Structure 1
C-alpha cells in the first residue's frame, strides 16, 4: 500500500511537469522592409480597411523574425505550440528549466509562464477545480421560427432596405463546423461562394468542416437560411471559419490559437470577428484566472482582442453562461476594453439566469448589450432547424446585424459602429451589470447615424479633385482641432496635417501621382473619401 501511495504521489507530481509559457522577443529586425512592402504581410483588402479608418501600419503588423522562431524551436525540450506577431511572442511547452534556459538567448526579452506561481513577479495563483468543458449551447427541440430573435433588435428593418451583410466579411472563431458544407441551411452560402476559407488551428489542418457542432450552431445564427424557418442576421456576408477551440480539453494554448487566427483574419481584411468562447478555468488549475484578472489587460486572448480592435476590426463576444454559478462573471476575452460582450435574454427580453454579469475588475459595464439567447433558432449539423440557448447564440445574432449596419454606414470606423450600437440600446442612459446597455435597436441605430452622417451642404468641402499642387479644404466657421490624414493604396501614411481657419490649404506637389484615401476630422465632423493626385 505504501508503494502504491508513493507511486500515486509521483504520478500526480508529474501530471503537469510540462509547462505552458509565452516567450517574448526584443525586436523585429526586418520591420523596415515589411513596412515599406506592406503587401508582403497584409492583403490589399486589409490595407483598404486600415486606410478607410485612418489607421497607420506599425511594428505589430510585421511577422516574427523567422530566425528567432527557428532557434527557439531547436532549443532542447521546447515545443512551439502557437505564435503571435502582434505580441512578438511564441506559445511554448516544456519543463521549467528548459523554458527558463531560453532567457539566455540575446533576442529573448521575457518568459511568462501560464502558471503565475512560476513567474517571479506574481504570487501563487488561486487554486480552482478543473472545468468540465461547456460550449454554452444545448439543443432542445426541432421546431421554431427565427422571427423573434431578429425583430427583437429591429434587424428586419435593415434587411428590408437590402442591408443583409453584402460586402462585409465575418471571421468565426469556434470549435468546429461539421455539416456546413453539406446541409440545406448553409446551401445559400455555398451557392454564392460566401464561405471564403478557413483553417483548423487546433489540428494544424486546412480541414475546417469538422470538429464540434458548436461552431455550426453559431454560424447558422448569422448565415443560416431556410425560408419560413431560419433566416440568419447576415445571410449575404462573407465568412472565414477558424477552429481555435479544442472541445476535448481546456488549456491556455487555445487563447494563443485564437490570437493567431485573429491575426490571420486581420491580414485577410476581415471586418468583424465573432467569438462564442470564453476562458477562465483550466484543466491545470494553476493556469486558471481569478476575478482580479478580468481587468481588460491580463489574459493573453484579451490583450490580443485589444490589438485586433486597433487594426479596425469590430469584435463581438459571448458574455458567458456562468450567471447562476458561484462565480457569475464574464470570462476573457469578453473583458477586453473595446470588445462588444453580449448577454442573453429570453423571447420577452427578460435576462436569463445563466447570462454572465459584470462588472470587470476595473469597474466597466459588462455585458455591453443583450439579445435573444434562450430558445434561439439555429441549424444543427444534420440541417435540422432546432432551438438552442446560450450567450453563444445571442452574440452571433448581434454580430450579423453589425455587418448589416456597417454595410449601410461604410464611412464609419469600428469605434463609431460600436458606439452607435450601444447608444441605440434601451438602457443606454441607465445601464446595469446584467443587461449592460440593454437590447440594441438597429433600425434606430441606422436612422440616428444617417442623420448625423449627412452634414449641411458646404460644411466640409475638399477641392480640386483631382489635385495637382494645392488642395483646398473648406471648413465650418470656428472649427478647432481639424486634421487631414492621407493614405496610399498600400495603407501607408502619406500625410497628416492640422488644418486652420475656414479655408485651409495643403501642399501636394511632393506627393506621387495616384489614388489616395483621405480622412478629415473637424469639430466632430468626419469626412472620408478618395483623392486623385495628378
Structure 2
C-alpha cells in the first residue's frame, strides 16, 4: 500500500511539472541601449518624440528595445515558446513546463521569473483558491438594433459645446485596443473615417496579422461611438480624430497572454505617436482559475497590463479603460487596467444619469476612488458591422464615448499635458467634491472647460433671436452680406445673400440642435452659433 501511495505521489508530481504554464521572464538590463539613445528615431516616430518634448518627458531605458540576443536565447531554450514581449517592462511572456521555465533563472541576464499561477512563485505567499469566474474580457454587452439618436450621450457630457467650437478631435490620434473591427472597412457609418484617411492602421496581435478588419465585432461597436457618422442617426464624440485599431483580445479564450498583447500594442501606439489609448477590456478572471487575479491585486501596481498602462501615461498618453460590468457579481470591483493610478476609468450611467447596476465599483484595493468618472453606457447608440444603427449596454461604450470627448478637449488645449487634461476632466465632474465608490467623481462637464458665449455681438453687429424656432435676423451696417449655416461637423446646410433692408434668414428647414454661422459683409467677418429650437 505504501508503495502504491509513493507511486501515485511521483505520478502526480510528474504531471504537475509537465503541464504547460504561462510566465513572464524579466531581464536585468539592456546592454545595447546606448544605440537607441544615439538615434531614437529608429524606433520612435517624430510625433512620439514631439509628444515627449511638448510635455517635458525625457527618454529613459524603458524606451530602448529589448536585447535581441536575450530574446533569441530564450526562444532557443528547451520547451519554451515566446508569446509576447515588452520593452517597457523588459520582459517576455513565455509558455512551457514549470521545469523548463524555472531553468531560465539560470541565465545570467534573467532578473526574475514570475508565473501567472501565483502559487508557483517561490517568494509568493500561499493564496486561497480563487473562485472568480472567467469573464469575457471584452466585457459583456447586450444589443438592441433599434434606431436611435446619439445626441444624449454627447449632451450629457456637454460635449456639444466643444463641437460647436470646431473641436471634434481633429489632429488627435486615438488607439483602440479591443477584440476586432470587422465591417469598419465597408460599413457606411465609417465611410467618413475612410474617405478622410482617418484610419491610420492597426495590427492583430492575437494572430500576428496585419489584417485588423476581423475578429469579434466588439471593437467595431466601440469605434462607432467615437468615429461613427450617419446623418441624423449617429455622430461619434470625435468624428475628426484619427485612429489606430489594435486587436489584443482573443475572444475564444481568457488567458494572461492577452495582458501582454495589450502592453505590446500600447508600446506600438506610443511609437506611432498616439495621444490617447482607449480600451474596453478588463481583466480579473481567467479560464485557468489559478491565473485569475484577486481583489488584492487591484492596487495599481501588481498586474502586468496595469503596469503597462501606467508606463503609457508616463510617456504623455492619456489612457482610458472601462470600469467593467461586474457590478451585480460577488466580486464587483473594477478590474485591470482600470485599477491604474493614472488610468481614467469610466463607469456607466443611463440616459438620466443613474448608475447602471452592472457597472463595476470601487474603491481600488489601496482605497483610491474608482471609477474615476461616468458616461452613458445604457442604450448607447452604436453602429454594427453592416452599418445598422442600434443601442448597446455596458462600460464598453461609456469608455470610448468619453475618450472621444477627451480628444476634443485636448484639441482645444493643445499645450496642456496629459496630467493637466485628466485633472481638468475630473474637476469638471458633478461629484468632484463628494466622490464615492459608485460614481467616482461623477459626470464631467466638457462645456465648463471653455469660456464661450452663446452667440457673438458687438455695437455694430448682432444676431437675434438666438435661440430661435424659425427665423434668425442679422443687424449690420453695410448694405449686403453673405450668410452660411453649417452643421457642427462642418457640412454647409444653408447659404444666402441678405440685405440690410431684409436681414432675415429662415432656419425652419433645420432640425432642432446647434449650428455654426459665418457672416461676411465688406471687411466685417463673424462666426458664431445658432440654437434651433
Range into which the TM-score falls when normalised by the shorter chain: 0.7 to 0.9
Tell me the residue number matched to 1:382.
386
Q: Distance in 2 between matches of 1:161 and 1:264?
A: 32
Q: Is the 8 A contact 1:174 1:275 kept in 2?
A: yes
- How much does 1:59 deviate? 0.4
Q: Is the 8 A contact 2:169 2:408 kept in 1?
A: yes
Within the candidate set 114, 128, 131, 1:128 is matched to: 131
Q: Distance in 2 between matches of 1:129 and 1:370?
A: 25
Q: How many residues align?
A: 441
- How much does 1:16 deviate? 8.7
Q: Find out whether 1:201 has 2:205 as its counterpart.
A: yes
Within the candidate set 227, 246, 254, 2:231 is matched to: 227
Tell me the residue number matched to 1:114.
116
Q: Find out whether 1:44 has 2:43 as its counterpart.
A: no
Within the candidate set 392, 408, 417, 1:404 is matched to: 408
Q: Distance in 1 between matches of 2:235 and 2:407?
A: 15
SS of the equivalent of 1:236 reads coil
SS of the equivalent of 1:403 reads helix
Alpha carbons of structure 1 residues 15 and 198: separation in structure 2 relative to 1, 3 Å: farther
Tell me the residue number matched to 1:34.
36
Alignment of 1:424-443 (within 5 A): 424-443=428-447
Tell me the residue number matched to 1:469.
none
Q: Distance in 1 between matches of 2:372 and 2:226?
A: 19
Q: Distance in 1 between matches of 2:15 and 2:289?
A: 13
Q: Distance in 2 between matches of 1:289 and 1:282?
A: 8
Within the candidate set 247, 252, 255, 1:243 is matched to: 247
- How much does 1:104 deviate? 1.1
Residues 17-57 of structure 1 show CA distances to partners (whole Å, capped at 9, x for unaligned) of 11000000011011111112110120000000000000000
Q: Distance in 2 between matches of 1:234 and 1:305?
A: 22
Alpha carbons of structure 1 residues 249 and 157: separation in structure 2 relative to 1, 3 Å: same
Alpha carbons of structure 1 residues 108 and 47: separation in structure 2 relative to 1, 3 Å: same
Q: Is the 8 A contact 1:115 1:125 kept in 2?
A: no
Q: Distance in 2 between matches of 1:39 and 1:54?
A: 17
Q: Is the 8 A contact 1:16 1:284 kept in 2?
A: no
- How much does 1:445 deviate? 2.1
Q: Is the 8 A contact 1:423 1:445 kept in 2?
A: no
SS of the equivalent of 2:450 reads helix
Residues 99-124 of structure 1 show CA distances to partners (whole Å, capped at 9, x for unaligned) of 01111111111000000000011123
Tell me the residue number matched to 1:339.
343
Alignment of 1:128-207 (within 5 A): 128-133=131-136, 135-207=139-211
TM superposition score normalised by structure 2: 0.81
Tell me the residue number matched to 1:456.
none
Alpha carbons of structure 1 residues 14 and 283: separation in structure 2 relative to 1, 3 Å: farther
Tell me the residue number matched to 2:64.
62
Q: Distance in 2 between matches of 1:120 and 1:446?
A: 54
Q: Distance in 2 between matches of 1:211 and 1:241?
A: 12
- How much does 1:130 deviate? 4.2
Residues 251-288 of structure 1 show CA distances to partners (whole Å, capped at 9, x for unaligned) of 00000000000000000000000000000011110111
Q: Distance in 2 between matches of 1:152 and 1:59?
A: 42
Q: Is the 8 A contact 2:84 2:260 kept in 1?
A: yes
Q: Is the 8 A contact 1:130 1:284 kept in 2?
A: no
Tell me the residue number matched to 2:370.
366
Rg bigger for which structure?
2
Tell me the residue number matched to 2:104.
102
Q: Distance in 2 between matches of 1:53 and 1:401?
A: 21
Q: Distance in 2 between matches of 1:446 and 1:362?
A: 34
- How much does 1:13 deviate? 5.9
Q: Find out whether 1:259 has 2:263 as its counterpart.
A: yes
SS of the equivalent of 2:114 reads strand
Q: Distance in 1 between matches of 2:189 and 2:111?
A: 49
Q: Distance in 1 between matches of 2:293 and 2:244?
A: 30
Q: Distance in 2 between matches of 1:78 and 1:337?
A: 34
Q: Distance in 1 between matches of 2:385 and 2:335?
A: 27
Alignment of 1:237-316 (within 5 A): 237-316=241-320
Q: Quick check: 313-322 or 32-41, which moved more?
A: 32-41
- How much does 1:128 deviate? 2.1
SS of the equivalent of 1:218 reads helix
Q: Distance in 2 between matches of 1:15 and 1:324?
A: 38
Alpha carbons of structure 1 residues 216 and 13: separation in structure 2 relative to 1, 3 Å: farther
User: Aligned Cα RMSD in Å?
Assistant: 1.7
Q: Quick check: 92-101 or 134-143, which moved more?
A: 134-143
TM superposition score normalised by structure 1: 0.81
Q: Distance in 1 between matches of 2:136 and 2:345?
A: 21
Gaps of 5+ in 1: 1-5, 449-534
Tell me the residue number matched to 1:458.
none
Q: Distance in 2 between matches of 1:202 and 1:16?
A: 25
Tell me the residue number matched to 1:520.
none
SS of the equivalent of 2:419 reads helix
Q: Distance in 2 between matches of 1:317 and 1:13?
A: 39
Tell me the residue number matched to 2:460.
none
Residues 210-231 of structure 1 show CA distances to partners (whole Å, capped at 9, x for unaligned) of 0001000100000000010000
Tell me the residue number matched to 1:352.
356
Alignment of 1:515-534 (within 5 A): none
- How much does 1:142 deviate? 1.9
Q: Distance in 2 between matches of 1:173 and 1:413?
A: 22
SS of the equivalent of 1:81 reads strand
